[in-house]
């Protein structure tokens, strides 16, 4: 089955991405509750245990979990190359990864040795990265998607190496690492791994799901420009006179991507209301705002130097990344269910009439409520910069919204199983 150059013949079982999506929703609920309880400590410093815990709970437990799950689905479709991890390998990887995240959060809060997290995260991520790189290098086609995805994975490798080195240093204190290395870890994690992967996916899913023109060839060079700037930052990490203009150029490039993507969405042929469009627009607007906040860094007063990066993190993390994730889940989950049911129905042609409508799996009204709840959550989280009680409320709203989404993912999975069995009976 091929559609617009996409290959659907080697897609994995539907439970493969869904197990990651459900685990990500559970970590998101935990993160919301953690914010609600520990909000006063989160705004103290970006290096406080509470801030480190919530940052890595979201970055690893939610964002990376969704991205890893999506890669199992996207690589076979976009590059014609399934990730050859196997059922047992998949269970081992996810179990080690989840245990590693929990151990990392425990180490930040003084509950266990960081060596446990170092071993668990090192083992799980090295396993996944090795298989992923092997798949991309030797099996993947689709050059337009393969190359920028390779850039994202390379940035992920650097992010992991920097993180593991700092975690090891946290245990043994073998070197004096400056704050610039923490900034570099965050830069490669966000601009490199997360943003490059979102860019690569958006080049495919925005035209496919929203019937827009294809992204232009110049715009597809943006991931390469972002990667070039990141490596320039890497080789000038302790030279503030150089890193500041490089960081400014990097954020201007990212703003350029956001404007191009917004233009694509405005040119969509299907003008019907779509909550995924609203999530994309809100996410891209937040991305522009976050970049502007970064550009303002040299001019902020000294009293805000410590907490300004946390405000940037909230805008980037909550406003951009979580918006993209929730919007894509609203679109991807029903798409995957109908895709797998269609393939199943090919062996049972009489069951084609049982195929569900996307909005019967995840209702449009739910998407509308989820979007409004998410926007209010982000606004309250930003207001927590001035009054911490808003952050507590934002945490409670976040936990509620993701619980709401988790219930609908489970219900959609249950409906998939029911229809799958009904098709088989025909």
pLDDT digits (tens, 9 = 90+) for 93-131: 999 999 999 999 999 988 888 889 989 999 999 999 999
Compute the half-sphere exposure of residue 380: CA atoms within 13 Å on the CB side of its CA. Answer: 20
pLDDT in the model for residue 3: 45
Question: What pTM did the predictor assign?
Answer: 0.92
Q: What percent of the chain shows pLDDT beyond 90?
A: 57
CA–CA separation, 21 and 407 (whole Å)? 12
pLDDT digits (tens, 9 = 90+) for 155-214: 999 999 998 888 887 766 666 666 778 889 999 999 999 999 999 999 988 998 888 899
CA–CA separation, 73 and 68 (whole Å)? 9
Cα→Cα distances 59→100, 318, 382, Å: 13, 11, 18
Whether the predicted pLDDT of 2 surpasses 60: no
Contact 142, 136 (CB under 8 A): no
The single-letter DSSP state of residue 112 is S
Sequence length of the chain is 426
pLDDT digits (tens, 9 = 90+) for 49-68: 999 999 999 999 999 999 99
Runs of H (alpha helix) within 57-194: 65-74, 86-108, 114-138, 143-172, 179-187
Measure the CA angle with vertex 380, ends 374 and 384; round to 5°.
Answer: 140
Best CA proximity match to 329, nearest among 371, 288, 294, 296 = 371
pLDDT in the model for residue 174: 60
CA–CA separation, 426 and 423 (whole Å)? 5
Best CA proximity match to 55, nearest among 64, 386, 17 = 64
CA–CA separation, 415 and 250 (whole Å)? 45
Long-range CB contact pairs, 90-95, < 8 A, 24+: 90/16, 92/127, 93/124, 93/127, 93/128, 94/19, 94/20, 94/23, 94/124
Place of tokens 């993209």: 324
CA–CA separation, 173 and 349 (whole Å)? 64
Mean pLDDT confidence for 308-329: 95
386 phi-psi bin (left φ>0, alpha ψ -120 to 50, beta other): alpha
Report which of residues 85 and 35 the model is more confident about: 35
Which residues make beta-bridge pairs with 3?
6
pLDDT digits (tens, 9 = 90+) for 366-423: 999 999 999 999 999 999 999 999 999 999 999 999 999 999 999 999 998 998 888 8
Whether the predicted pLDDT of 221 surpasses 90: yes
Q: Which residues of 195-233 are buried (b: 16+ CB within 10 A; e: fewer)?
A: bbbbbbbbbbbbbbbbebeebeeebbebbebbbebbbbb
Whether the predicted pLDDT of 1 surpasses 50: no
* Contact residues for 173 (Cβ-Cβ < 8 A; gap 6+): none
Best CA proximity match to 258, nearest among 297, 290, 304 = 290
pLDDT in the model for residue 12: 82
pLDDT band for 303, please (50, 70, 90 cuts): confident
* Contact residues for 84 (Cβ-Cβ < 8 A; gap 6+): 131, 134, 135, 139
Mean pLDDT of the chain: 89
pLDDT in the model for residue 4: 45
User: To 10 degrees, what angle do helices 86-108 and 49-56 make?
Assistant: 160
DSSP H or E run through 18: helix 15-42
């Amino acid at each position: 089955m091929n559609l617009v150059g996409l290959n659907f013949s080697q897609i994995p079982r539907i439970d493969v991405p869904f197990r990651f999506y459900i685990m990500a929703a559970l970590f998101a609920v935990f993160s919301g509750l953690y914010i609600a309880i520990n909000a006063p400590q989160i705004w103290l410093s970006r290096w406080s245990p509470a801030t480190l815990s919530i940052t890595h709970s979201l970055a690893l437990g939610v964002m990376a979990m969704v991205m890893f799950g999506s890669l199992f689905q996207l690589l076979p479709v976009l590059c014609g190359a399934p990730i050859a991890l196997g059922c047992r390998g998949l269970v081992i990887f996810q179990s080690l990864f989840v245990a590693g995240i929990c151990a990392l959060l425990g180490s930040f809060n003084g509950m266990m040795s960081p060596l446990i997290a170092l071993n668990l995260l090192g083992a799980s991520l090295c396993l996944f990265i090795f298989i992923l790189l092997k798949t991309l290098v030797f099996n993947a086609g689709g050059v337009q998607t393969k190359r920028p995805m390779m850039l994202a994975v390379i940035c992920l490798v650097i992010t992991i190496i920097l993180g593991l080195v700092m975690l090891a240093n946290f245990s043994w204190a073998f070197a004096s690492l400056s704050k610039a290395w923490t900034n570099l870890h965050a830069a490669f994690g966000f601009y490199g791994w997360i943003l490059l992967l979102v860019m690569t996916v958006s080049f495919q899913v925005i035209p496919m799901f929203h019937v827009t023109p294809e992204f232009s060839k110049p715009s597809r060079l943006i991931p390469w420009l972002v990667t070039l700037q990141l490596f320039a930052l890497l080789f000038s990490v302790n030279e503030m006179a150089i890193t500041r203009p490089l960081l400014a150029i990097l954020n201007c490039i990212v703003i350029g991507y956001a404007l191009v993507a917004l233009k694509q969405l405005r040119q969509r042929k299907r003008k019907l209301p779509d909550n995924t469009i609203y999530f994309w627009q809100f996410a891209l607007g937040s991305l522009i705002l976050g970049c502007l906040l970064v550009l303002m860094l040299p001019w902020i007063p000294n009293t805000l130097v410590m907490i300004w990066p946390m405000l940037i993190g909230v805008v980037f993390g909550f406003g951009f990344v979580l918006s993209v994730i929730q919007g894509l889940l609203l679109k991807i989950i029903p798409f995957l269910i109908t895709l797998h049911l269609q393939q199943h129905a090919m062996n049972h042609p009489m069951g084609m009439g049982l195929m569900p409508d996307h909005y019967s799996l995840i209702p449009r009204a739910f998407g509308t409520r989820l979007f409004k709840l998410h926007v209010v959550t982000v606004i309250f989280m930003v207001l927590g910069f001035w009054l911490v009680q808003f952050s507590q409320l934002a945490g409670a709203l976040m936990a509620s919204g993701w619980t709401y989404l988790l219930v609908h993912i489970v219900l959609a999975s249950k409906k998939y199983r029911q229809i799958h069995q009904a098709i088989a009976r025909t």
